[in-house]
Amino acid sequence: MRAKIWILLMFSACATYAQQDAQYTQYMYNTVNVNPAYAGSRGVLSIFGLHRTQWVGLDGAPTTNNVSIHSPIANSKFGIGLSVVNDRIGISDENTASVDVSYWIKTSEDYKLSFGLKASAHLLSVDFTRLTVLPGDSPSIGQNNIDNRFTPNIGAGIYLHSDKTYVGLSIPFMLETLHYDDNSASTASEKMHLYFIAGRVFDLNPNLKFKPALLTKVVNGAPLQVDLSGNFLINEKFTLGVAYRWSAAMSALAGFQVNDSWFVGYGYDMETTRLANYNSGSHEIFLRFELFKNYDKIVSPRFF
């Protein structure tokens, strides 16, 4: 069997039984994507764009593009957000558009507790004509493409945070919807993912901050995923860090605060599994723009 078929089978297994949500190394800057309660929590209008190329050199490997915008609603305790994710794996192309709404309450002098809801629309396309059909394969392969199959979903989350600490729990997609079933070859369905996130900022000295962060993801039929990271913020400008995805990858992280509004970041993953023999790693780059008012520059936390 040709290499392309083996790769297809590998991706099909992942889509059917394991984690399907798009994977991010720099999740700490893209929190609203996994937890709707984060919407508006930075206190300013925040626009975020990310491109991820995974497993470079492996035919059909995942490519992800993500754009999001979120903001508090003036003179209220509500926040609102909108995000669009395009995730391409092999012969499949999935687009997800989500609307987030959050509401926060003050639990102490330092902490706020936010509750969030997410409403999403998924569009799935699968082009079976791109398969390499071998002699003896079913002649029906390539005759039943999926074209923008629509499935709705809902999600929810909670997010407790201060200027230095945060912890959150969320299920961004609560409905286990069926994407595809040909009754003979394969079944693909969206599984429910439970996310737990946490982080803390430590002031090491006036010019150096350190932030460890944690993301865990639980989904039925797949191993527990644990992401650990540590980032240093130097002179309020430069960010350097490392991350480890349990039994999967090591990562290097870097960022630069261009000015009060613009922040750019880059991450590189090096596989620690046997997949390292077949690819040259994964690259992730993002850009964040925030629209401040004069007082926002003083009160808005910058590191998460």
* pLDDT, position 262: 93
- Tens digit of pLDDT for each residue in 245-265? 998 999 999 999 999 899 999
Q: What is the pTM of this model?
A: 0.86
Q: What is the CATH number of domain 25-126+149-175+190-295?
A: 2.40.160.40
Q: What is d(CA 35, CA 39) in angstroms, rounded to the nearest whole number?
A: 8
Residue 174 confidence (pLDDT)? 93
Beta bridge partners of 99: 82, 119
Backbone CA torsion sign across 170, 172, 177, 181? negative
pLDDT greater at residue 240 or residue 224:
240
Domain locations along the chain: 25-126+149-175+190-295
Nearest one of 200, 118, 202 to 160, comparing CA atoms: 200
Q: Which residue has the tokens 């069926």?
A: 178
pLDDT in tens, 261-288: 999 999 999 999 988 888 999 999 999 9
> How much is the mean pLDDT over the chain?
85
- Beta-carbon count within 10 A of 145 CB: 12
Lowest mean per-residue pLDDT among 113-117, 128-132, 255-259: 128-132
Residue 293 has pLDDT above 50, yes or no: yes
User: Tell me, what's the pLDDT at 147?
Assistant: 84
Separation between Cα atoms, residue 266 and residue 215, nearest integer Å:
18
